[in-house]
């Protein structure tokens, strides 16, 4: 039987919904839609009957009837004859396409990273760094001397070179998650890893739990696989464990994709106690918990934590050298149980036949000395983070920011829903932005903007001044703001 929500519980979730000046039914429908999009009202849940909700909210039954029919028309409620409507996300309706935008082209992303940033723009859509030059260069020089020994072989290896898998496994073991090299598969980055995992485990229409907000390219990978994202919102203080547990128990998604280590875009870190609870809830629901640890090394405040893999045998972890060393290495990995890795390996061969040998030889050196470039990198990022927060405080004090414990970006909360409009006019001011709604499903996060602190303070200053000028223009022209509802499809990392 589908889970259901009682009138009293829904009335609590709705809070003071009737504050707008429009008709009451529209206000009720708007707040209900947001609750569904935020994941606070889970998908496939039967809403209370019209009679019980109208009496709990002390409004006429006509108000509730009209609100429910509006949600039905927009595709947020199923329209079972006589039965209570169930919540859903309108992917295949005209309204749904307006919310989601056009279906991504084959392969997911609409624009390839790195190809489209016009010359001269300060790029705030990428949350990435240049290579830690000397360290990467040295690793390739050493790899070149090792290459001749491998040339007599075929060069294909779906799992990856053993010395690299050994080095990655040793790092997990040292961090508290004992790991054998047979539990590692080397991939062409974390995004490749996620694509393989989804392809191996999920069928079309399967549910995939995601944090809301989440990493845009991961959301694109979920959509490209024609799976249904189940978004779960954060509280003001971090992960909402009761909401995650209830989404897992009620929706039983095939996969739950989380970024516990310096979550992109918020920069938060999940405490070990929550990791344990989440891993337990996922295992109980039969859901494969996928922990993306791409940003794990960017621990700006030195917060201790244990890799998610230590909390459950069925956890699948994703790692990458993109943030600690360089995105251009295109080297990442999956850590999972041995049978699961075998399953990923057979899925992989439909996509590619393994990673390039030179990159893997170099990566083995980098992973063995993974901490080497970190002190200087973290020092620089701490300085940039402080500079960006101070600049925002000085020039855009109404924008709310929390200090991220790590990662590469600040997730700002804006007083007005202008994220898309800002993104559209940003190039006129010399900057490129990623609109807040790219980080969510169904048009959420129009009041949010991710700002990376990957640029040096002088560039950050120019960027914040440009943002302020763009914001002032929109404040002075509300008509303009309302008309700019579609952001151009830009590459995001």
Ligand X SMILES: Cc1ncc(COP(=O)(O)O)c(C=O)c1O
The yes or no reply on residue 320 touching ligand X (CB under 6 A) is: yes
Which residues make beta-bridge pairs with 435?
Answer: 449
Stretch that binds ligand X, among 20-28, 85-93, 233-241, 287-295 (CB under 6 A): 287-295
User: Contacting ligand X (CB under 6 A), which of 43, 396, 435, 493?
Assistant: 493
* 3-state SS track over the chain: CCCECCHHHHHHHHCCCCCCCCCHHHHHHHHHHHHHHHCCCCCCCECCCHHHHHHHHCCCHHHHHHHHHHHHHHCCECCCCCCCCEECCCCCCHHHHHHHCCCCCCCCCCCCCCCCCCCCCEECCCCCCCCCHHHHHHHHHHHHHHHHHHCCCCCCECCCCHHHHHHHHHHHHHCCCCCCHHHEEEECCHHHHHHHHHHHHCCCCCEEEEEECCCHHHHHHHHHCCCEEEEEECECCECCHHHHHHHHHHHCCCEEEECCECCCCCCCECCHHHHHHHHHHHHHHCCEEEEECCCCCCCCCCCCCCCHHHHCCCCEEEEECCCCCCHHHCCEEEECCHHHHHHHHHHHCCCCCECCHHHHHHHHHHHHCCCCCHHHHHHHHHHHHHHHHHHHHHHCCCCECCCCCCCCEEEEECCCCCHHHHHHHHHHHCEECCEHHHHCCCCCCCCEEEEECCCCHHHHHHHHHHHHHHHHHHHHCHHHHHHCCCCCCCCCC
The yes or no reply on residue 292 touching ligand X (CB under 6 A) is: yes
Nearest to 252 by CA among 217, 282, 224, 273: 282
User: Contacting ligand X (CB under 6 A), which of 260, 332, 355, 404?
Assistant: 332
Q: Minimum distance from CB of 261 to ligand X (Å)? A: 9
User: Contacting ligand X (CB under 6 A), which of 85, 189, 216, 307?
Assistant: 189
Stretch that binds ligand X, among 92-100, 240-248, 319-327, 478-486 (CB under 6 A): 319-327
Q: Minimum distance from CB of 114 to ligand X (Å)? A: 11
In the complex with ligand X, the residue whose CB is nearer, 438 or 481, is 438
In the complex with ligand X, the residue whose CB is nearer, 66 or 218, is 218
CA dist 179 and 309 (Å) reads: 9
User: Contacting ligand X (CB under 6 A), which of 295, 334, 362, 467?
Assistant: 295
Q: Minimum distance from CB of 214 to ligand X (Å)? A: 8
Site string for ligand X, 356-375 (x = CB under 6 A): --------------------
User: Contacting ligand X (CB under 6 A), which of 327, 373, 404, 442?
Assistant: 327
In the complex with ligand X, the residue whose CB is nearer, 35 or 321, is 321
The yes or no reply on residue 259 touching ligand X (CB under 6 A) is: yes
The yes or no reply on residue 186 touching ligand X (CB under 6 A) is: no
Q: Minimum distance from CB of 83 to ligand X (Å)? A: 40
Residue closest to ligand X (Cβ): 189
The yes or no reply on residue 190 touching ligand X (CB under 6 A) is: yes
Q: Minimum distance from CB of 456 to ligand X (Å)? A: 19
Peptide bond into 153 cis (omega under 30): no
- What lies within 8 Å, CB to CB, of 125 at 6+ separation is 117, 432, 433, 434, 490, 491, 492, 493
The yes or no reply on residue 231 touching ligand X (CB under 6 A) is: no
- Tell me, by CB under 6 A, how many residues bind ligand X: 15
Site string for ligand X, 124-153 (x = CB under 6 A): ---x--------------------------
Q: Minimum distance from CB of 313 to ligand X (Å)? A: 23
The yes or no reply on residue 45 touching ligand X (CB under 6 A) is: no
User: Contacting ligand X (CB under 6 A), which of 87, 287, 294, 324?
Assistant: 294
275 contacts 244 by C-beta, under 8 angstroms: no
CA dist 163 and 24 (Å) reads: 65
Site string for ligand X, 262-281 (x = CB under 6 A): --x-----------------
- Kindly list the distances between the CA atom of residue 456 and the CA atoms of 382, 387, 443, 453, in Å, as whole numbers in the listed order: 11, 9, 32, 8
In the complex with ligand X, the residue whose CB is nearer, 190 or 357, is 190
In the complex with ligand X, the residue whose CB is nearer, 295 or 474, is 295
Q: Minimum distance from CB of 260 to ligand X (Å)? A: 10
CA dist 82 and 192 (Å) reads: 45
Q: Minimum distance from CB of 402 to ligand X (Å)? A: 18
The yes or no reply on residue 299 touching ligand X (CB under 6 A) is: no
The yes or no reply on residue 211 touching ligand X (CB under 6 A) is: no
Stretch that binds ligand X, among 189-197, 344-352, 354-362, 415-423 (CB under 6 A): 189-197
User: Contacting ligand X (CB under 6 A), which of 45, 70, 179, 191?
Assistant: 191
Q: Minimum distance from CB of 190 to ligand X (Å)? A: 4
In the complex with ligand X, the residue whose CB is nearer, 33 or 171, is 171
Stretch that binds ligand X, among 59-67, 77-85, 185-193, 340-348 (CB under 6 A): 185-193
Binding site for ligand X (CB under 6 A): 127, 189-191, 215, 259, 264, 292, 294-295, 320, 322, 327, 332, 493
């Amino acid at each position: 039987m589908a889970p259901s929500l009682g009138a009293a519980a829904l009335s609590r979730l709705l809070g003071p919904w009737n504050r707008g000046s429009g008709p009451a039914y529209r206000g009720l429908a708007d707040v209900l839609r947001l609750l569904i999009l935020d994941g606070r009202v889970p998908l496939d849940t039967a809403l209370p009957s019209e009679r019980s909700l109208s009496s709990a909210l002390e409004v006429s039954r006509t108000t509730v009837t009209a609100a429910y029919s509006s949600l039905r028309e927009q595709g947020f409620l199923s329209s079972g004859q006589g039965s209570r409507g169930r919540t859903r996300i309108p992917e295949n309706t005209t309204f749904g396409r307006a919310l989601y935008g056009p279906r991504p082209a084959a392969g997911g992303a609409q624009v390839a990273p790195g190809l489209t940033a016009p010359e001269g723009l300060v790029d705030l859509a990428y949350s990435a760094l240049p290579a830690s030059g000397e360290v990467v260069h040295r690793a390739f020089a050493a790899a070149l001397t090792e290459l001749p020994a491998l040339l007599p072989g075929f060069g294909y290896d779906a799992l990856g070179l053993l010395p690299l898998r050994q080095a990655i496994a040793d790092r997990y073991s040292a961090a508290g998650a004992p790991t054998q090299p047979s539990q590692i598969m080397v991939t062409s980055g974390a995004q490749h890893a996620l694509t393989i995992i989804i392809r191996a485990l999920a069928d079309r229409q399967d549910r995939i739990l995601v944090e809301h907000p989440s990493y845009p390219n991961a959301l694109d990978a979920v959509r490209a696989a024609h799976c249904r994202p189940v978004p779960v919102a954060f509280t003001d203080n971090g992960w909402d464990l009761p909401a995650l547990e209830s989404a897992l128990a009620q929706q039983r998604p095939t996969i739950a994709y989380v970024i516990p280590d310096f979550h992109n875009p918020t920069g938060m870190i999940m405490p070990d106690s929550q990791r344990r609870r989440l891993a337990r809830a996922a295992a109980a629901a039969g859901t494969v918990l996928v922990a993306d640890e791409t940003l794990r090394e960017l621990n700006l405040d030195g917060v201790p934590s244990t890799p998610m893999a230590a909390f459950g045998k069925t956890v699948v972890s994703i790692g990458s050298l993109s943030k600690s060393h360089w995105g251009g290495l295109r080297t990442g990995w999956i850590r999972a149980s041995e049978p699961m890795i075998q399953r990923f390996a057979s899925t992989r061969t439909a996509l590619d036949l393994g990673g390039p040998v030179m990159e893997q030889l170099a990566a083995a050196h980098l992973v063995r000395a993974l901490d080497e470039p970190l002190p200087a990198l973290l020092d620089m990022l701490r300085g940039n983070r402080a500079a960006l927060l101070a600049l925002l405080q000085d020039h855009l004090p109404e924008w709310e920011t929390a200090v991220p414990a790590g990662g590469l970006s600040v997730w700002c909360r804006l007083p007005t829903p202008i994220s898309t409009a800002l993104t559209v006019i940003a190039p006129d001011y010399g900057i490129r932005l990623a609109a807040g709604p790219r980080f969510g499903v169904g048009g959420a996060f129009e009041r949010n903007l991710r700002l990376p602190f990957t640029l040096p303070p002088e560039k950050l200053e120019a960027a914040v001044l440009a943002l302020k000028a763009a914001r002032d223009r929109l404040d002075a022209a509300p008509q303009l703001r309302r008309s700019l509802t579609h952001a151009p499809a830009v590459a995001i990392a």
